[in-house]
C-alpha cells in the first residue's frame, strides 16, 4: 500500500510530533504533508524526511504569524493532492483531518483533540487576543472554521482518539465514534537516577491554558524551587512573574530534559490536558506527578499511587496538594511500571492492528 502522513504543523515539537515520529517509524517511505514547517525547531530526523508543505509556507513570515492566517488553512489543506495513496493517516488537533480523499482510499485520523480554540476554549482564546483589529475580525473567522471543522470531520473514515477525554469531545462536536489508543512514551530515552535534587519540574509549551502562571504564583509564595523548561508566546509574561526560586530555562534538548526529569522531586501539571505525555515521561523516571485532576491526567496519573491531584485552579488548592505531597511517600518502581504500560511498542502494535482491521473491513465491503 502507498501511505501518506498528514500533520497540522511542524514548527514546534511536542507530544503530537512524537506520535508522528512513531507513524514515520511504521511507514518509513511515507511523505509527511503539513501546512507549515520550521525544521530548525524540529529534531534532526525531520530534515531527512520528505516534507511537503502547503502554499502557506511560501507566504513571507508565515511561521512567525501563522495564527493570523487561520482563515487560509482549510483551503490550504484541501489543496493537497493525495490521489496516489491507498492509506492516508492524519495526525490532527486542527486542520489535517480535513484533507480530501476519494471513496477508494482509506483515511484514518489519529485525533489529539477537536480544535480547542473554536470549541471548548473559544471564549478563553478570545480573551487572550490583544490586537484590537484582529480581535474584532476573529469571531467571524472562527465561526467559519468551526463550521468547516464539523463538516470536514465527516470526511474521515475512522477516528482514533488519544484518550477517553478526547473521545467524548469527538462525540460531542463531530457526532462520531472513536477508538481510544493512548499515545506512546519513549521509555528507552530516559535514564532514571537516584541522585534526587530538591526542585519541582514543569516541561511545557508556555501558553495560557497550561496555567503555569498559577504554579509560579504558588511557588513564589512558598519560596519553593521550580524549574520550567519550554517556550511559547506566554514566556515574557511568565518571566516577569517568576520570583528568585523559579528558573525558566526555555527550550532544551531531549538529553537535557531527561536529566532534569531524572533528578526532580516531582513533576507539576497544572493545565487541563487532552492526554498529556509529559506526566508519563516524568513517571517513566519514577517521579510522582502533582496534577490538576481533570482531563487527560485522570488517565495517566493514579491518585495516591503515582501522584496527587488538586481539584481547582486556585492558590489554595495547589498549595494544599503540595502540603499533602510532602506528607506522602511514593514507590519509584511502581511509578515506572505504570508508565511502561504506555510504551512505544504497545502503541505501534495497537495502531497496526487497528489499521489492518480497517483495511480488511474496507476490502470485504467491496467484494
The pLDDT tens digits for 65-100 are 777 788 899 999 999 999 999 999 999 999 999 999
For the cut 80, the answer to whether the pLDDT of residue 359 exceeds it is yes
CA dihedral over 72, 117, 239, 324, signed as positive or negative: negative
101 with 176, same domain: the answer is yes
Domain CATH number, residue 15: 3.40.50
Q: Pseudo-torsion of CA 159, 43, 14, 177, nearest 10°?
A: 0
135 with 214, same domain: the answer is no
What are the CA-CA distances from residue 170 to residues 17, 162, 208, 245, 357 (Å)?
A: 20, 11, 23, 41, 21
Containing structural domain, residue 320: 187-340
CA-to-CA distance for 231 and 238, rounded, in angstroms?
Answer: 11
Beta pairing class for 158-161 and 106-111 = parallel
89 with 55, same domain: the answer is yes
pLDDT at 45: 92
Domain CATH number, residue 302: 3.40.50.2000
112 with 218, same domain: the answer is no
pLDDT tens string 210-260: 999 999 999 999 999 999 999 888 999 999 999 999 999 998 988 899 999
- Confidence label for 117 from pLDDT (cuts 50, 70 and 90): confident
pLDDT tens string 22-57: 999 999 999 999 999 999 889 899 999 999 999 999
57 with 111, same domain: the answer is yes
pLDDT at 82: 97
Q: Are 177 and 202 in contact (CB under 8 A)?
A: no
284 with 135, same domain: the answer is no
40 with 171, same domain: the answer is yes
149 with 205, same domain: the answer is no
Q: For residue 267, how many other CB atoms are within 10 A of its CB?
A: 25
198 with 70, same domain: the answer is no
pLDDT at 241: 96
Residue 242 CB-density burial (10 A; 0-12 exposed, 13-18 middle, 19+ buried)? middle
73 with 179, same domain: the answer is yes
174 with 157, same domain: the answer is yes
269 with 215, same domain: the answer is yes
How many domains are there within the chain? 2
Amino acid at each position: 500500500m502507498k501511505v501518506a502522513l498528514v500533520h497540522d504543523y511542524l514548527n514546534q515539537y511536542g507530544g503530537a510530533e512524537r506520535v508522528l515520529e512513531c507513524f514515520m517509524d511504521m511507514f518509513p517511505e511515507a511523505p509527511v504533508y503539513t501546512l507549515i514547517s520550521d525544521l530548525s525547531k524540529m529534531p534532526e530526523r525531520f530534515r531527512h524526511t520528505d516534507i511537503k508543505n502547503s502554499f502557506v509556507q511560501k507566504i513571507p513570515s508565515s511561521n512567525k504569524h501563522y495564527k493570523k492566517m487561520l482563515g487560509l488553512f482549510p483551503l490550504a489543506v484541501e489543496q493537497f493532492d493525495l490521489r496516489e495513496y491507498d492509506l492516508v493517516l492524519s495526525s490532527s488537533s486542527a486542520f489535517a483531518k480535513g484533507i480530501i480523499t476519494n471513496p477508494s482510499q482509506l483515511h484514518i485520523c489519529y485525533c489529539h483533540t477537536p480544535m480547542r480554540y473554536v470549541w471548548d476554549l473559544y471564549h478563553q482564546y478570545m480573551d487572550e487576543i490583544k490586537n484590537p483589529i484582529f480581535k474584532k475580525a476573529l469571531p467571524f473567522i472562527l465561526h467559519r472554521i468551526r463550521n468547516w471543522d464539523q463538516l470536514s470531520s465527516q470526511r474521515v473514515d475512522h477516528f482514533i482518539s488519544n484518550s477517553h477525554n478526547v473521545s467524548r469531545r469527538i462525540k460531542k462536536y463531530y457526532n462520531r465514534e472513536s477508538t481510544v489508543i493512548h499515545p506512546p512514551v519513549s521509555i528507552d530515552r530516559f535514564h532514571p537516577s537516584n541522585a534526587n535534587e530538591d526542585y519541582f519540574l514543569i516541561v511545557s509549551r508556555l501558553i495560557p491554558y497550561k496555567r503555569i502562571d498559577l504554579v509560579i504564583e504558588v511557588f513564589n509564595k512558598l519560596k519553593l524551587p521550580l524549574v520550567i523548561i519550554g517556550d511559547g508566546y506566554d514566556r515574557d509574561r511568565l518571566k516577569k512573574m517568576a520570583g528568585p526560586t523559579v528558573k525558566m530555562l526555555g527550550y532544551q534538548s531531549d538529553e537535557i530534559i531527561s536529566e532534569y526529569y531524572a533528578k526532580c522531586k516531582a513533576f507539576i501539571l497544572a493545565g487541563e490536558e487532552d492526554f498529556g505525555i509529559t506526566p508519563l515521561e516524568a513517571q517513566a523516571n519514577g517521579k510522582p506527578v502533582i496534577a490538576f485532576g481533570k482531563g487527560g491526567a485522570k488517565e495517566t496519573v493514579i491518585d495516591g499511587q503515582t501522584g496527587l491531584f488538586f481539584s481547582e485552579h486556585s492558590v489554595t488548592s495547589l498549595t494544599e496538594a503540595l502540603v499533602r505531597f510532602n506528607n506522602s511517600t511514593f514507590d519509584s518502581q511502581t511509578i515506572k511500571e505504570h508508565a511502561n504500560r504506555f510504551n512505544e511498542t504497545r502503541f505501534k502494535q495497537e495502531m497496526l492492528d487497528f489499521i489492518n482491521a480497517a483495511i480488511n473491513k474496507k476490502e470485504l465491503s467491496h467484494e
